[in-house]
C-alpha cells in the first residue's frame, strides 16, 4: 500500500460544478499537509497548506481528518483554468526530506 | 524574481554517459531536494540537503550523486546513465528545516536515456 493514496481520476466536470478530492495517508506521525497543483508537463505549485481546523482560499476549501487520516480538497464553481492534476502532499516529520507526494488526481473542467 | 532555476530543460543521453543537472535558488533557502517523476507515480525523493555541506539520500538515490558547496547550488550528477533514469527531474527548495514550510519547485529537466 502506498503511503499517500489518491484516486487518479480523471474527474470530468462541467464549468460551475463543485468537485471534491480525497487523499488518505498511512503514517499517523504525519505532521503537515499540502495540496499542490501540477499542470501538464509543468512543475508542481503550492495550492494551499491544510490546517487542522480546515481552511479556505477563495473557491478552494481544504479539510484534514487526523483520526481517519485523510485530507480533502473542495473546489467550488469550477473554472476551465482549474483543469490540472492535484497532488496531495504529506510531511511525516519536522524536516523537508519527509515530504511524500501522492500520485495525483486529474481534473478536467469542461465548457 | 528567479526562485528555483534548473538547467538544462531537456537532455538526451546515451547509455553510460554521465552528466550534471544544475539547480540554483536565490531565496536563501536551507533545504534543497531532487525528485524524479515518472508516469503514474508521485514524485520520488532522490537526494536532499539541509544546508551547505550536508547531503543525504532519499527514497531512490542509486545512480545519482549530489553535493552542496554553497547555499544556492545543488547539482545532481548521473554517474553512468541508464534507460531506467529516463524521467522528469525536479529540484525544490524550502526555508529552514521546518516541515510546515512548503517546497518551491524549479520547472524541471526532461531527461531521455537511449
Lowest-confidence segment of A8-12, A94-98, B31-35, B98-102 by average pLDDT: A94-98
Q: What is the pLDDT of residue A1?
A: 73
pLDDT at A92: 77
* pLDDT exceeds cutoff 70 at B96: no
Task: Find chain A residues with C-beta within 8 A of B100's C-beta.
Answer: 31-32, 49, 91
Grid coordinates in use for B68?
552542496
Are A95 and B31 within 8 A, CB to CB? yes
Q: In this complex, which of B43, B48, B88 lies closest to A96 when CB atoms are compared? A: B48
φ, ψ for residue B87 (rounded to 5)? -175, 180
Terminal CA-to-CA distance of chain B, rounded, Å?
Answer: 36
Query: Which residues in A lie closer than 8 A to residue B50 (C-beta atoms)?
Result: 95-97
Q: Quick check: B61 pLDDT over 80?
A: yes
Q: Looking at B30-109, list the stretches that DSSP marks H as alpha helix, in order from N- to C-terminal side.
A: none
Q: For testing the chain B interface, which of A1, A37, A42, A97 should be mutated: the one with the most B CBs within 10 Å? A: A97
Contact B51, B39 (CB under 8 A): no
CA nearest A47 in B: which residue?
Answer: B102
DSSP state of B83: G
CA distance A55 to chain B (A): 15
CA dist B67 → B2, B16, B32, B43, B107 (Å): 22, 21, 11, 21, 20
A20-73 confidence digits (pLDDT tens): 999 999 988 888 899 999 998 899 999 999 988 889 999 999 999 999 999 999
Which pLDDT score is estimated for B41? 76
Closest partner residue to B107 among A32, A43, A102, by Cβ?
A43
In sequence order, what E strands does chain B have?
Answer: 4-7, 10-13, 19-25, 31-37, 44-51, 54-57, 64-66, 76-78, 87-94, 104-105, 109-113
pLDDT of residue B101: 78
Of A31, A46, A97, the CB nearest to B102: A46
Q: Give percent of chain A with pLDDT exceeding 90.
A: 75
- CB within 8 Å: A101 and B42: yes
- Chain A hits for B35, Cβ within 8 Å: 101
**Residue A94 has what pLDDT?**
59
Residue B23 has pLDDT above 90, yes or no: yes
Q: How far apart are CA B24 and CA B32, in angstroms?
A: 9
Query: Quick one: average pLDDT of B10-35?
Result: 95
The closest CB to that of A94, out of B42, B43, B99, belongs to B99
Output the pLDDT for position A23.
95
Asked if B43's CB is within 8 angstroms of A101's CB, the reply is yes
pLDDT of residue B98 exceeding 90: no
pLDDT at position A96 is 55
Residue B59 has pLDDT above 70, yes or no: yes
Looking at chain B, which residue has its C-alpha nearest residue A98?
A: B99
Query: How does pLDDT run across B63-81, given as a tens digit for each residue?
Result: 999 999 999 999 999 999 9
Amino acid at each position: 500500500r502506498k503511503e499517500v493514496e489518491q484516486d487518479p481520476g480523471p474527474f470530468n466536470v462541467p464549468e460551475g460544478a463543485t468537485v471534491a478530492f480525497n487523499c488518505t495517508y498511512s503514517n499517523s506521525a504525519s505532521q503537515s499537509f499540502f495540496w499542490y497543483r501540477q499542470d501538464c508537463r509543468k512543475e508542481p505549485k503550492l495550492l494551499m497548506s491544510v490546517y487542522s481546523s480546515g481552511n479556505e482560499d477563495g473557491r478552494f476549501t481544504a479539510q484534514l481528518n487526523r483520526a481517519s487520516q485523510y485530507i480533502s480538497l473542495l473546489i467550488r464553481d469550477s473554472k476551465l483554468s482549474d483543469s490540472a492534476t492535484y497532488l496531495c502532499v504529506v510531511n511525516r516529520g519536522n524536516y523537508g526530506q519527509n515530504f511524500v507526494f501522492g500520485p495525483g488526481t486529474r481534473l478536467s473542467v469542461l465548457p | 524574481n528567479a526562485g528555483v532555476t534548473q538547467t538544462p530543460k531537456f537532455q538526451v543521453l546515451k547509455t553510460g554517459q554521465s552528466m550534471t543537472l544544475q539547480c540554483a535558488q536565490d531565496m536563501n533557502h536551507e533545504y534543497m531536494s531532487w525528485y524524479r517523476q515518472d508516469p503514474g507515480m508521485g514524485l520520488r525523493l532522490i537526494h536532499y540537503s539541509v544546508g551547505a555541506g550536508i547531503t543525504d539520500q532519499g527514497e531512490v538515490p542509486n545512480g545519482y550523486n549530489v553535493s552542496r558547496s554553497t547555499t544556492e547550488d545543488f547539482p545532481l550528477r548521473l554517474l553512468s546513465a541508464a534507460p531506467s533514469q529516463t524521467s522528469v527531474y525536479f529540484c525544490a527548495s524550502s526555508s529552514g528545516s521546518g516541515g510546515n514550510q512548503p517546497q518551491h519547485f524549479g520547472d524541471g529537466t526532461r531527461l531521455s536515456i537511449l
